[in-house]
Amino acid sequence: MRTVVRQLLAYVVSVALLAAPLWGVRAAPLGVVTLAERAQISAVPAATGATVFDGDTLSTDTVGILRVRAGAAQFQLFPSSAAVVTRTSTGIRATLRAGTVAWSSANAGAMEMQASEARLRPQGNVPTQAQVTLLSPTELLVTARRGALEITVGEETQMVPEATSYRVLLSPPDPQGPQGAGTKQVEKKTKPAGHKKKMILVLVAAGSAPIIAWGVHELVESPDRP
């Protein structure tokens, strides 16, 4: 009986030793850091060349900056910003927690953004450059620098045309919302029970929205380069 028990224990230990290397293997990398100054990856100081994995939280200090390349997309966090990156079936998603992020993608599926309740993605399979700032949980500043953007909140989708900036108001307290030129408001019937998220886009006058220039030209023109 003791012999049988010893053989069984030896078998279990052998299987555990063989499987141990597999348990320590992380998922495939999501991207790589191409520029890092006073930035962190999941609370660890980031450096150029560092690997970014699915689920990592990226953040920058008050004077920090962090740029990441991920397949056919790249994005940059500006000072006092934070985002969580996750893998999608065609690319990556960055969920903005604070601050400002600019990004570029060579095709529609390479990258999408989530900011508060809003989901942002390219409108069509074309190279896209955009920027979003999370002003508050109910207000965003969105700029489409190249290519148009689709913004979806709940069941509602609106478009930000190329070379324009919009303030995006999510479920504002005033049901009438801001009035005047450049305002888009979609009236929806409301049900007695519950509350549906809604969105108002307010056009920002040219030159009044802060647009931060950064190096995305090479990626958009040559997405297949390593």
Helix (H) and strand (E) counts for the chain? 2, 16
Contact between 66 and 33 under an 8 Å Cβ cutoff? The reply is yes
How far does Cα 182 stand from its chain's mean position? 27
Residue 91 pLDDT > 70: yes
Strand partners, 86: 93
pLDDT in tens, 27-79: 789 999 999 999 999 999 999 999 999 999 999 999 999 999 999 999 999 99
pLDDT in tens, 66-87: 999 999 999 999 999 999 999 9
Structural domain 28-221, CATH architecture: Sandwich (2.60)
Residue 36, helix vs strand vs coil: strand
What is the arithmetic mean of pLDDT over 116-144? 95
Q: What token pair was written down for 86?
A: 């996750």
Work out the mean pLDDT of the chain and round it to a whole number: 80
Q: What token pair was written down for 59?
A: 């953040």
pTM: 0.74
Residues 6+ apart with CB under 8 A from 186: 156, 158, 198, 199, 200
Q: What token pair was written down for 170?
A: 């999510």
Query: What is the C-alpha separation between 226 and 212, in angstroms, rounded?
Result: 25
Strand 111-115, strand 118-122: pairing: antiparallel
pLDDT in tens, 140-195: 999 999 999 999 999 999 999 999 999 999 975 455 544 444 555 544 444 444 55
Residue spans per domain, the chain: 28-221
Residue 110 pLDDT > 90: yes
What is the arithmetic mean of pLDDT over 84-94? 96
Residue 113 pLDDT > 80: yes
CA atoms within 13 A on the CB side of 87: 10
Contact between 167 and 182 under an 8 Å Cβ cutoff? The reply is no
Query: What is the C-alpha separation between 149 and 5, in angstroms, rounded?
Result: 65
Residue 5, helix vs strand vs coil: helix
- What is the residue-wise DSSP string for 127-172? -EEEEEEEEETTEEEEEEEES-EEEEETTEEEEE-TTEEEEEEES-
**What pLDDT score does 214 carry?**
46
